[in-house]
Amino acid sequence: MYGMAPMIYPSYLFALFFIIFWFAMWLLHLIAIFYGKYRLHNKVTKLPSDEPCPGVSILKPLMGVDSNLSTNLETFFTLNYPLYEILFCIEDETDPAIDVVNTLIEKYPKVSAHVFIGGSIVGVNPKINNMNRAYEASNFDLILISDSGIRMKEDTLLDMVNHMDDRTGLVHQMPFTCDRPGFAATLEKIYFGTAQSRIYLAADFFRINCHTGMSALMRKPVLEEQGGLKSFGCYLAEDFFIAKSYINRGWKTAISSQPAMQNSGVCDVENFQARLTRWAKLRVAMVPFVILVEPLSECMMIGACTAWSVGVLFQWDFFVFYLVHILIWFICDWTLLCIVQNGSLPFNKFHFVIGWLFRELSGPYLFANAVLDPPIKWRNRVFKLAWGGVAQELNPRIKC
């Protein structure tokens, strides 16, 4: 019409935004696949014989016993590494894990291992409270914090130390899982080998903090400059803030070649989804903008938004575009999972389809539940997070 200025409709702006975000997600797919192929499962080289071997203090926080605990812990007694100590941290003197540990100490008398019973209350984080005494008694400048469900290969510690160069302050393992039977185990492996690995590898490629603390090697002197482990007791996501503090001080963080092999004896869908929900609540509190970004990183959500967008802008068929999107996403996830697994998978493609669809369809629901019900239930305690990640126990035992 005469004299009318061009108009930009809001729907066009939303459509353009969704398409740009969609392309960004495909870029993350490609980066994860190629970077994973380059970074993971490289041959472990021995340390130079003319250089002193750095000692490592391994902190193992334990609580309770499951069917795999003994075999998991035993892998730490058989590490092919010349100088390390294992410091077991057990809060309750009646915990049956004490007997499991003592049996292994008797079986491997040449391995330096000690048990610390009873934690020290330095914050609201139960894990930090449990480990602090052992941390303060550790003898070496490298500290490995390793969760109870982690299973090690003989050369895993050597692989992590090899990645600790002069500019690196923290080396962490990308979470993955051991081969176990059952649908819940399949679901866990699919999640950690696809959605989690994609973000984890892309974040490491771009040097973005995406550290999880289930298996992390760090320089103790740097931690001491910040007040030691106890200074992070006010956070439930202590792993994120420890890594952030290293980065803020100019140190690099890096993932090792070998993933962290989770092998907990407790493996069921309910516990796994509760774990994912808890992690989502932590992310929302630490980095609030994920409320907008994370739902769109899900296959079904961004696919539907982009299918609508191409219909608005180019009049393409919604359902054809959506189905092609899902198919290609599925193929990329299968490819990435095979790279992370580095061998034959313990399930066939049909089981992968079922597990993948279950994960993708339940992901947005779990995230919505995390946003709508922010208090975090961890074991027998309930915590509330302030923006920024500082935690407060709803029935507080200590001010933080």
Q: Residue 211: which of 120, 282, 275 has the closest Cα?
A: 282
Joined together, the tokens standing for residue 361 give: 């369809």
Residues facing 61 on adjacent strands: 89
Q: How far is CA 209 from the centre of its chain?
A: 11
- 232 and 128 in contact (C-beta within 8 Å)? yes
Quickly count: other Cβ atoms within 10 Å of residue 389's Cβ.
20
- Find tokens 């191409």 and name the residue: 310
- 213 and 105 in contact (C-beta within 8 Å)? no
Catalytic-residue membership of 92? no
3-class secondary structure, 253: strand
- Give φ, ψ of 215 to 5 degrees: -155, 100
Contacts of 70 (CB under 8 A, 6+ apart): 100, 103, 104
Separation between Cα atoms, residue 173 and residue 164, nearest integer Å: 12
Separation between Cα atoms, residue 125 and residue 114, nearest integer Å: 22
Secondary structure letter of residue 141 according to DSSP: S
Q: Tell me which amino acid residue 170 is.
A: L
The catalytic position among 147, 155, 239, 333 is: 239
Q: Which residues are catalytic?
A: 239
